Structure 1
């Protein structure tokens, strides 16, 4: 399982829990606020993953399509993208599918 798939599954799980709790009429106003916030965080994470993935695909395409040009910036950019995704995975460190290598980088 790659990190994008892992993150997508965890975000979907978080979103499902938030929606379930929002449907519970016994949840306090502060609890409802928190659950709404969690839903927004899920959407923000999905958007960030799409942005990073688009940038990663563009960088890889640039490496392939312009091999004779200076693409020295691409490896470092790819490393930053990987570190960004790893940072998003950190809250799920205790999940059985979490790869410890994501934590080390």
Structure 2
């Protein structure tokens, strides 16, 4: 499982839990606010993953095609993208599918 698949699955789980709790009529106003906030955070994380993945694919394509005059930026950019995805995965460190290799300091 790669980090994007891992994150997509965890975000889906978070979203399902928030939706289930929002269906609970005994939830307080603060609880409703929190669960709605969690749903928005799930969408924000998905959006960020799409941005990073698009940039990563573009960088890999440029590296493979050799079309960039100065491709020296690509490895460093790829490292930043990997670190960004790892930061998103960190809250799930205790999940059995979490790979410690994703998070390097």
TM-score range, shorter chain: over 0.9
- Give the match for residue 26 of structure 2: 26
Mark the runs of 5 or more structure 1 residues left unpaired by the alignment.
none
Partner of 1:17: 17
State the TM-score, normalizing by the size of structure 1: 0.96
- Which ranges in structure 2 are unaligned for 5 or more consecutive residues? none
Q: CA deviation at 1:68?
A: 7.1
Contact 2:56/2:81 (<8 A) preserved: yes
Change (3 A) 1:13 1:60: same
Distance in 1 between residues matched to 2:61 and 2:82, nearest whole Å: 17
- 1:83 maps to 83
Q: Give the Cα–Cα distance (whole angstroms) in 2 for the partners of residues 12 and 102 of structure 1.
A: 20
Alpha-carbon shift at residue 70 of structure 1 (Å): 1.7
The residue number in structure 2 matching 1:8 is 8
2:83, 2:103 within 8 Å by CA — same for their partners in 1? no
- Written as runs of structure 1 = structure 2, the 5 A alignment for 1:1-105 is 1-66=1-66, 69-105=69-105
Distance 1:76 1:65 in 2: 18
Structure 1 runs of 4+ aligned residues shifted over 4 Å read none
TM-score after normalising by structure 2: 0.96
